[in-house]
Structure 1
């Protein structure tokens, strides 16, 4: 089964860490990250051909950019091999190494509802948009912490594990060289209003982020193919859900998780991939302009795809609904939340 999936993985399936016991087979760190990045690139490459776009673009104030919303059903089969061999619970170990959650998930085919959004933002420190540097600072650096700052429902982020960047180094995947690769595990809590009606949701997320250059040309989010700016920076963040079932979670870590989860909280799951890349487009001069040559402008294309399950008593059909405020509406709103937060940080948002 793939790494980037809705069904959560046990802690026994992730690479070695000083806080994790070494009494079970674990995947090596670099092969694990390579496998995850390869899956992320494949998923991103499949968006134009496998996702269905909504007929109209969506606004997300105060962002000037409209948002393209896409959806798909992804079908996973128990016949799919494990992505990373050697991990307990990955499918390559014996049946006794798997916990009940994984055994149940691998015993039948599963379908995941994925939502994707794409938007194009003028590369400028201006109202309604953000510069490339601001995208890097806001989404690439301290990803989970910044998400808590611009997302009203995220009320807490507890870092459970992180891996030393120096131990990872540069990684090449599918001809792309990734640098500044980071990996960590966070416990993320969302709270909602009215709190007496909607219980908090807690997610255990393994996050991998990396920067890269020179990604191959791909269609832009609004149709026409636009090449990335030559050697311009790009970055990718992916999130893999984990679960904290007692048999596969070290007691000390389980104690930390239990102490951080608020009362009445429901453990939920999501997986996601997120990419930002700098692109350029050629524009023709205006009729009254004196220049006869085309000019070039740059913009950030921001893509995010996710699958999630809020669990508890919220039906899946409600979670999939735009009209009822489900995941499609939430991911579109995130664009405006990030741009508004960025404007406030630089002091240009309206008060």
Structure 2
């Protein structure tokens, strides 16, 4: 929990991971080409004070996440329902795959502009303050199916490395934000 090289403060974790999650993920992940907002419920949640149960600053949206995949495979679009929330010492980001065919506001579902393969992605990210605020614990669980011709056994081989890589990308992006260079 410090705004210094190689780590991030609690506020930086909250602003980078929870607030505007999909846009920030696109900014710090080179393979993410777009985070297209299909639907947002922020205005509807304002009526609840953006509070649900013990959680505050609740956000909910449907987003098309477009990922570049190296040739000969096609790029992927992962439509997800993104739910974010926080407590004083905890934050949560949940992404659930959704079907967006025929949904108003989609950009990539029709595949009319380029060849895209629909994929499925699910994740839960949780961060919490530990040791009376001295440390931040960031946990992530993911499951995905890139679909197409890539066998599942090959997809599973890359997942652990991708999660570890995400940590470095986020910390690097946070350092650039801190210096005003991102």
Partners of 1:168 and 1:181 within 8 A in 2: no
Relative distance call for 1:131 and 1:197 in structure 2 (3 A) is: same
Please give the TM-score of this superposition, normalised by the length of structure 2: 0.89
1:266 is matched with which residue? 117
**Structure-to-structure mapping, 1:4-19, within 5 angstroms:** none
Q: Deviations over 1:103-144 (max 9, x none)?
A: xxxxxxxxxxxxxxxxxxxx1111111111111111111100
2:129 is matched with which residue? 278
1:147 is matched with which residue? 25
**Residue 208 of structure 1 pairs with residue 93 of structure 2:** no
Residue 347 of structure 1: how far off its partner (Å): 2.6
1:308 is matched with which residue? 144
Task: Pick one of 211, 218, 241 that aligns with 2:97.
Answer: 241
**Residue 186 of structure 1 pairs with residue 63 of structure 2:** yes
SS in 2 for 1:171: coil
1:171 is matched with which residue? 52
- Measured on the aligned residues, the alpha-carbon RMSD in Å equals 2.1
Moved over 6 A (4+): none
Residue 260 of structure 1: how far off its partner (Å): 7.0
Residue 318 of structure 1: how far off its partner (Å): 0.6
Relative distance call for 1:261 and 1:131 in structure 2 (3 A) is: farther
Residue 259 of structure 1: how far off its partner (Å): 5.7
In structure 1, runs of 5+ residues without a counterpart are 1-122, 214-232, 282-296
Residue 159 of structure 1: how far off its partner (Å): 0.3
Partners of 2:77 and 2:108 within 8 A in 1: no
Relative distance call for 1:332 and 1:306 in structure 2 (3 A) is: same
In structure 2, runs of 5+ residues without a counterpart are none
Partners of 2:100 and 2:109 within 8 A in 1: no
